[in-house]
Each structure stands twice: as structure tokens, then as C-alpha cells.
Structure 1
Amino acid sequence: MARITKLDQLVINELLGHGVFTTTPLPAATQISRAAISELKKPSVQQRLSYYFKNMFGATPENFQENLFFMIGKEELSPEVVHVLLATVKTIINEPELQSNLEDRAIPTQKIVRQVHSEVTELDERELLRCIDVLFVKRFGLFTPDRLEEGTENVPAEIDDYWEIHPNFNEFAQNLIDFLTNEQTQPVLSDVQKVNRVLLTEQFMSPKTTPQLWPVLVAHKEAIAEQWTQGGRFVLEVGDQYALLLDQQRQPSVAKPYLAALVVAHQLGAGVAANDLTGLIKTVTAELFPGFTIQPSQVKAALLENDLMRAQDDYWVPTPIVARFAVTQDEESKEGAKS
């Protein structure tokens, strides 16, 4: 196999991180991004990338009008999420403020959410906000958050005032819809490819969470780790009872729900009854941030999204990852984290 280059890594990690790579550069695109887009036109580069993905995951990115899509496992969308996606696309395409080629493509977040809610009535506006954020901000990168001046403690951290819409949204959205409606065949996967898919979607494995694949990971851990290292972003750490895929591009969070989640995870001990988790979260947040309201649902989401706990029977128990983190408090801010 030809050696993966730095430009290859940029494409690979965009696809692994967001599921998409667009070959239309934005005005603010970096020189290396433009170089990667140019390189991708070469058949040799396309073949090298296809081999990398096929070898690791048993599937190659789909190409729609020079836009690449790669979604597996949890990246695949449920019917409910597809409904939100289509309603959001319709909202943006029909938005009067975007009909002309204006430089200002910022649309109030609440305006988009309310319009989508008129079609997706089974979810409330907060659920829609989170779903749209996950899809169009974090995954596809088609919306860029534009917040008010920071420093207002009473404004929820997840609420953006505006979303700046990607100038090529319409073309990209059509390609995305084509991809979602294109019938996908399920490939026959090797055991190592199954392990890599679990690592990509879960970032965590253990003998308890994946008992059938754990022996495969242990037997091939050096080769699997080398595959991930080639991409230049992820490092596979394998302990006696866990495997953790570390994202070197991910910055440690200093958000209050995340810091509270770390403390809660350390207090789970041998396990906390599912019915008692909310009470524990309320106690911890009150001690950490007196006078500041944090919704228990935000802390629970942080616990799950960062693989800090898992369900076992009717209890929540900490994952082995928790032992890698410590939370410290200083006298003034009452918050801080180190790993």
C-alpha cells in the first residue's frame, strides 16, 4: 500500500469526523485544504484513499458530484433524523434572506428551529435544536455558529444566536439527499473491519461491551493501532480491560456539564441505581456551581457522549475511561479539569 500523505490525512479525517468532504473550497479555506482538494482529482489519490477505507472499514466513500460521503454504524440516520434533515434543507432552500447572493448568510437559530418544528411536530424545539446542531454544525459543517458576546452566564451554552449558512448549501444538500436515498448494499466484513467500525462509532471497547470482538482486538492490536496511526489523527490505547480510541484533534472540554459529568462519573462507584442518577447529578452540580442552574439532562448527555458511564441492568456504572481523568476545583472558579 502506498504511504498515506498529509493531504490524504486531511481528507480521511474530514470523512471520519464529519462523514463528508466537499471539493468546493470556501473563501477562508486554508492553503492545505485547497491543495487536498486539488490532489483528490488525481486517480492515484482516489485509489489510495479507497484502499484505506476499504481495508479498514470494508466500505469506500461514495462520490456525488465530487463530494465524498462516508457514513457507517451510528453515522447512519434514523427515519426520525432524516425527517429533521429534510425539513431543515427545505427551510434553508426556501429562506428569503438567502435567495440572493449576499455575503451575509447568517440566519437566526430560533427562526430555523421554529420553521422545522412546523413540519417535525413529534419533537419539541429543544430536541430539534440539538438534532439540527448535531447534523448541520458538528457532522456536516454546513452551519457555522455565530454567538453573542460571551460572558452572559444566563444564556444556555448550547443556544446559538445565528447560524452562518454554507454558500454551497443547496448543491451540497442535494448531493446528501441523493446519498441517503441511494440504496446501500451491506458489505461482508472481516473481524478486524468490525473492530474498526466499533472503534469509530463508539471510541471504546471492553470485554463486557463487545465480548465477541474483544479477542480479535487483543490478537491484532498492533496492526489495528498502526492502521489508525496512518490517518494521523487517532491513537489506539489498549489496556487489560479496555480499548480507547483517542482523538488528538479533540480539545478537552471546559463546559460546566462536562466537568460535572466527570465528578458524577467518579462518584458512580460500583454503580448507581438508574432512578437515583438525577439526584446524584443535582447534588454534584449544586456543590460545584452554586447559584448556577445546569439541567441534569445536559450532564447525563455529557456522561454518555464521552463514554464515562454505561447501563448495566438497572444501574449506571463507570467505564474504565473514568480512571484516566481527575477533576480539580480552585477557590474562585470552582471548575477545572485535567487528564
Structure 2
Amino acid sequence: MKNRYIYLSLIFLFTATSAMAAPVADAGTDQTVLDREGDGSETVVLESSASTGTIVGWEWKEGSTVISTAVRCLATFPVGSHTVTLTVTNDLAQVDTDTMNVTVTALSGPKQRRNLKDTPGANRFVRPLDLVWPTTDGEADICLWKDDMFAAASLSVDDNTVPNHDWWIAQCNLYGWKMTWFVITDQVLNGGSYYGPWSEFQQLADLGHMIQSHSVTHQGNDDVRPDSEMIVEYRDSITAIESNLTGATVSTAAWPYGKFNRDVGAMYYTAARGTAGTPNKPELTDYLKTASPSTIMGKDYIDSVMLGTSGISWMGNDAYTRGWISSFTHLIQTGDLDATASNLAYAASFPNLWVGFFKDVARYGQERDTATLA
């Protein structure tokens, strides 16, 4: 009788353990995306992190074709409807499946890219160096910048830098400018008063400034990390900002140390900023890694885009005339505040210099570069 009791108990224990450990596959919600580049296909993120159980294996398939064996992946689908099946396996060799649908819609009308993710290899147009309109009716000319401004600039701050917030607010109020803070989201709550809290960034947002992504963890090797890690890095940064700040929407980034994953980045951001370089030539701008000098509105840079001259010889001679200064800074030390304020005042002395959000300048440039005359 005793042995029979032990036997039944073991059966019950094994059955209960198996039931508790059974995996549950979750392939995510259906996705409908636009073929934004008009090339007949579009890339999406397949994400199975909502699956439960002690899962040791993943398999994504369309029909009999294996797409990936990772918990999350990038997958490219042609225009049309696609059924994707996720199969998960746990440590007891139990399996479960789930399906989701991906619909890629064909682009209609003129081609308009979500971002220009390929580094330009040749001029897209001839950059006009003046504001003279054609004298003959029917001829076209390029309006390089918003409201036909002569050149463009954007101001941004990396790494949260809360100690400078009040100073920047005062400077922007002097000139009616708005700027972008690129925030390391993991540091807002965990990095002390230099990096947060979220209420500091809500105040900036309420004043009309923009909060965008500088990644979750700010590592220096994002160009060689696996796609699966970069999906989390970019996606979770966006989620953190949009869930903690009322009214915030994130579509641009500043790459930590200038390192990034181009293919994954193009999935989440319409434009992104580098951490070094010259002004951007309008006809040769890589919108997923804009050149970005760390000297905020330095006179040499302003002169190069507004006057065609510069104290830096290779930036003169119209090399960057009518370009875009995508400038940024980190913490400005007390001893450097006056010099930075002087740079800002010099930039403000040019009424036909458009000082806009990084996001807005990048969007204007992309729409201009891909415009089609009917």
C-alpha cells in the first residue's frame, strides 16, 4: 500500500511539474507595414520575448522556410501577405506554436523613403549657393531649407546633463530656439542627479523641447553587437521615453560614440546623429549618421555655411556654404559657459539661419532629397 502511494504521488508530481513547465509561444501581434523605399520588400522585427516557460529553442518559419532560430530577429518580406509560425521548445523538449501575419503594402505615388540609409556615393543634386530664383517662368530651383532660409543648424545635448538644463532653457528663451536632448534611458533613474529624474525631462518637454534616444545603456561597441541586442537597445529606449514622458514621440537617435547598427537602426529611427565631423553638405548627407561637430555653433562653422569662409581653411571656399550644422555638446563646465553663449549669440545674428530641431531639419532634407516633380 505504501509503495502504491509513493507511485501515485510520483505520477502526480511529474504531471503537475510538466503542466507548470509547458511552454507558451507568443509570436507577437500582426504587423502591417509599407514598402517605404518602393523596392518591393520591407524589413520587420519578429519578437518572441512574450513567450513563457523555460524556453531553450526558437524557430521562425514561413511555410517550410526557416527564417531564424533567435528569440528576436529581422526578417525581410516581399509585398503581400505572409503567415509566420513561431515554434518554441523548453528544457523538457515540450513544444508550442503560435502564428502571426505580416502584410507588406506596396508604395503608391512618388517614391518617398523613410530614411536615406545608404551613404550617398554621388551628388543627388547641384547645391545652389545663392537665393536667386529662376528668371524664366516654368524653371525649377531648389528651396534648400524651411522658409527658404540660407542654411540650417540644430542644437542637441547628449548624456542627459541635468546640471546644464536651466542654463540651456535661458539661452533658448533669448532667441526663441528649441533643442533636442538625446537621453540614456537606463541612467535616468540609476545614474544620479546628473542623469535624471524623468521630471527634469518632462519639464523640458513641457517647454517645447524634444527628448530623443541615446540608447538604453550607452555602450561603445554597438557596431559589432548582435542584431538581437541592438533591437532591445533601440526599441527599449524608445519605449522608456514615450512611457515616462507625456506627449513624447521618438523617431531619431544620437549614436553612442558614433557606433551603431545601420540595418537595425533604420527599423526604429528616421534619422540619427553621429558624434564628429563637419557641417553637412545638403547634397551629400547621410541621414542615419549625420556629421555632427561637438563645438556648439562655433564661429568657424557658422561662417562656413553662411559666408563660405572659415578660420579652418578646408571649411572655407564655399565647401559647406548653405549646409547644415548638426551640433551637439555634453556637460558645459562653468568656465566655458560664456564662450558658448558668445557662439550662440553669433549664430543668432544671422536671421536667415534656420535653427530647428534635429528631427525637423533631417525630415526637411529627406523630403527635399526625394521629392519628385510631377
Greater relative contact order (Cα < 8 A, sep 6+):
2
Q: Same fold (TM over 0.5)?
A: no
The TM-score, its normalising length taken from structure 1, stands at 0.25
The TM-score, its normalising length taken from structure 2, stands at 0.23
Structure (1 or 2) with the larger CA radius of gyration: 2
